[in-house]
Structure 1
Amino acid sequence: MFQADAWMEQQYRKNMEKVAQQTREQSKEQRRRDLTDVMRKLIGEIETGELPAPVITERVSCPGYTRERVILSAAEGLEFGAYILIPDNCSEKALPAVLAIHGHGYGSREIAGMLPDGTADESPPGIHQHFAVQLVRRGVIVIAPDVVGFGERRLRSDTEKNPEAASSCYRMAVQLMMLGKTLTGLRIAELRKAVDYIVSRPEVDSAKIGVMGFSGGGLLAYTAAVLDERLKAIVLTGYTNTYKDSILAVQHCLCNYTPGMLTYAELPEWIGLLCPRPLFLESGLHDFIFPEAGFRKAEAEIQHIYNQAGASERLTVDLFPGGHEISGRKSYDWLCQQLRK
């Protein structure tokens, strides 16, 4: 046969047999340490250099909260914006905070209740459900950074050719991989800088920081949390699956692929590195990008990891009747409750 389907399947099976052998030869703690080190190396280090101090450029009163805009930097010569949503009931007592990470779309404004031009979005929310606003209305502070490659952070070389270009993920991912780095690595460096900033705020309880990410933001949320233990509770929505049933089976954006990840572990084991921290897995029953079958396989494996650690009660799952979208019917309250403990 000329087609490579069977050969590709064989490569996957052989690789997973090797992964299983590696797992048997290591203690759980050693494997956890090794995988964490491998993740850091595979996504690539981003040089920081001398960085400018954060600058607040906007403060707007919104119904029930105040929205600020801050300019941050994680790499010399590159800045990024983030919205800070502060509930009106913020008193002298420091509040928990959540790092809110958007997926593919027009950026942080999409989760902070705005249209692409920054005006208020009065229409029914889309798949992101304005989730940063949903969280701040539950009494936590939210920081929503602009993920590089989306909205205002698309490359000029892309928007000059097509002002409606959805993202600059492809061009950035390709160039960074050719330089031995990854787009995930750059995005994680910026997200961790956003955490540095939010924990420095006097209104924030630095011991109570959570993270919620949707779709590609789920990739970033779990990766950031594995590498940064300041993130105490995690919500992954529209992302949890197996590589085989999703990333390898559906044509995703190139930013979902980190060379070499599968040679060390399948996606559920990578996500399982979050154990024993509280983890909420949310997915739509009819999500065609991260399908139900793959979600159920991943859920079972992650549940096994939590069971073995004696932390089964710290894993919560909601497979809701919807598509590739945020539900939040249980996850919003769960996250806020975890951070108030």
Structure 2
Amino acid sequence: MTDASLNEGLPHEAGFGDYVALLKPRVMSLVVFTAFVGLLVAPVNVHPFIGLVAILCIAVGAGASGALNMWWDADIDAVMRRTAKRPIPAGKVQPEEALALGLALSGFSVVLLWLATNWFAAALLAFTIFFYAVVYSMWLKRSTPQNIVIGGAAGAFPPMIGWAVATGGVSIESVLMFALIFMWTPPHFWALALFMKSDYDDAGVPMLTVTHGRKATRAHVLVYTAFLVPVAVGIAFTSIGGWVYGAVAVVANLWFLRGAWQIWRRDEAVSEADGYAVEKRVFKISLLYLFAHFGALLIEAVLRAGGLT
């Protein structure tokens, strides 16, 4: 027998990339960006080194949440096409390894953030990890079609944490940044659910497409996008907003609202015929939408720092 035949059926040895994948790096990039903007637009200056440590802690905390989520969701990840190649269902990382990594990184990120900044920011990070890993992953995701609505709070906390690092508290500005992501999350994920077809049915996840049907989901995308618009545009009139942000918000929200309207008007047969082209395009727009808003806030902060506004 050859070495190759002897190794058939044995678990694959995990590589560094497999452990990185456990941390959901694409989600982490969004967390890091929004937290960084929340930190930078705050009215209190933070030493660059302290700021770097804080962002690192928030990134590690986000990765810890991802590892704990993958540990808990390994059974349904194995069923869904979109997640079947993740490290645990692919047999590259053992579930207990993911759990240990998630718990270790959780403790490390929270304690270090407390020591480097303040207890409030650390407590907010700890609550965010708990909310995503326990409230969303263990409870909401498998029990209610409101899973992505309520669970969206987990992804909305990072800019609040960044703000708390600088100020030690919350304000209307940080609450509005939270609300922007919170209101954006449902139409973003429902657009994805529409073209993922039977994944959520197969996994037994009560996504809105499963419990209320695809037509109702299309209507929800439009309604939530409409509620999102005033929140997003309203930030322009706060201390962190301005004409640059206002212009970006108006254009981006008209673009997103137009896409939501097109999704609502679509017939399921037409969508199947063209491979859910519109739904996929609106999902991509939703990603650009969030980066555009927080990017505009970043520009506003730079302009204020340079005395240009």
TM-score of the aligned structures, taking structure 1 as reference length: 0.32
Q: Which has the larger radius of gyration?
A: 2
Quick check: which one's strand share is greater?
A: 1
TM-score of the aligned structures, taking structure 2 as reference length: 0.34
